[in-house]
A = this chain, B = another copy of it.
Amino acid sequence: MSLNTARAAIVSAQNLDLTFQTGDGPVHALKGVSLDIEKGDFVSFIGPSGCGKTTFLRCMADLEQPTGGSITVNGTTPEDARKARAYGYVFQAAGLYPWRTIGRNISLPLEIMGYSKADQAQRVARTLELVELSGFENKFPWQLSGGMQQRASIARALAFDADILLMDEPFGALDEIVRDHLNEQLLQLWARTEKTIAFVTHSIPEAVYLSTKIVVMSPRPGRITDVIDSPLPKERPLDIRESPEFLQIANRVRDGLRAGHAYD
């Protein structure tokens, strides 16, 4: 377990615990999770189903209250950070509102945060361009393919100036080719905007390809079993995935995963 306690930490979790009280008794979703995320990091979380990846992201975003340990975001509590609108959250399913056009879906957070009409229009246009969806502004979500919907939901999270992008399996429902393409775009976007990104995935190549730091988790109770700092350069063409370093990291991740996996 690697514990970076650098001062530039944007998220800092110390010994975080979270137990859900359910009908069948308590579920220990997170146990003693400590992790620092630094400004500009691209952190991937990988681990078998139920290991607490989502729960950890939700703790960061103040959508879940830890039952033990401490977590700070931007030096304050997650709640204050949320109220300061520090988060852009991208969920597994695109989760666009079907009654709003793509444009108005993207302006949703802007309306809520009270941006001016002119500012809204300009930001919508800019983020649509960023995710290559210009021209689809007036379409409804269900008129777009899955990949396009997912890009729109990323645009929605980028439209306002959140410091931290939290992405919970955003590409889980897409096919490999579209996924490759969105991965490339996401990397470019990250490079351009210098956001801090926390990213949940089930795919080993995706995790290795995208991240500066890979967090491997295991379930029952949810713990961090490995934190891998990626030696890969910031500039990553798709075929870096056939390089030996890549495969080596991938193998380390796979071993970590297999250790904590119950198969079914």
Binding site for B on A (CB under 8 A): 48-49, 144-148, 175-178, 181, 202-204, 242, 247, 251, 257-258, 261, 263-264
Contact = CB atoms under 8 A, between A and B. Distances in A.
Contacts of A242: 247, 251
Main secondary structure of the interface of A (DSSP, over half): helix
A49 B264 contact: no
B204 A264 contact: no
A177 B48 CA distance: 7
Contacts of A145: 49, 264
Nearest to A182: B263
B148 A264 contact: yes
A147 B178 contact: no
A263 B175 contact: no
B176 A263 contact: no
A145 B258 CA distance: 17
A48 B175 contact: yes
A49 B176 contact: no
Contacts of A49: 145-146, 175, 178
17 contacts: A48-B178, A49-B145, A144-B264, A145-B264, A147-B263, A147-B264, A175-B202, A176-B202, A176-B203, A176-B204, A177-B257, A177-B258, A177-B261, A177-B263, A181-B263, A242-B247, A242-B251
Contacts of A146: 49
A121 B233 CA distance: 58
Nearest to A149: B264
A153 to B, nearest CB: 14
A178 B264 contact: yes
Given A147-B264, A176-B203, 11 more contacts: A48-B175, A49-B146, A49-B175, A49-B178, A144-B264, A148-B264, A177-B257, A177-B258, A177-B263, A178-B263, A178-B264
Contacts of A257: 177
Contacts of A258: 177
Contacts of A144: 264
A203 B179 CA distance: 11
Contacts of A263: 147, 177-178, 181
Contacts of A148: 264
Nearest to A260: B177
Nearest to A244: B242
